[in-house]
């Protein structure tokens, strides 16, 4: 799955996983992306979709992390439903 697909299909799990990998809070990620902390919270709660512009920004941050063994395992786990319920 591509970073964009993960963000569209599993925004909550993907954003939380990425924030943990980067050591960022919702606020810190929001500041990096130029959005409000509420927007990041809405994305993670699936109350609001991530705009294509912001999804592209996040996908660029996400891609190198998905290329690691941990990232590959994370992406595989989503297909089996392992990451979805654990947070």
Q: What is the pLDDT of residue 82?
A: 56
Q: Could you give the residue ranges of the DSSP H alpha helices within 1-87?
A: 3-9, 11-22, 26-33, 37-45, 52-66, 69-79
Domains of the chain: 3-79 (1.10.260)
Please identify which residue in the block is written with the tokens 């891609």.
Answer: 63
- Give me the helix-helix angle, 26-33 and 11-22, nearest 10°: 90
Q: What is the pLDDT of residue 83?
A: 53
Residues in the chain where the model's pLDDT stays below 70 = 81-87
Contact 50, 68 (CB under 8 A): no
């Amino acid at each position: 799955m591509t970073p964009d697909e993960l963000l569209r299909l599993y925004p909550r799990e993907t954003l939380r996983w990425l924030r943990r990998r980067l050591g960022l809070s919702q606020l810190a990620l929001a500041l990096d992306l130029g959005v409000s902390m509420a927007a990041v919270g809405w994305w993670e709660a699936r109350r609001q979709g991530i705009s294509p512009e912001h999804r592209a920004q996040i996908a660029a941050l996400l891609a190198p992390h998905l290329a690691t063994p941990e990232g590959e395992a994370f992406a595989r786990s989503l297909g089996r439903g392992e990451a979805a319920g654990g947070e």
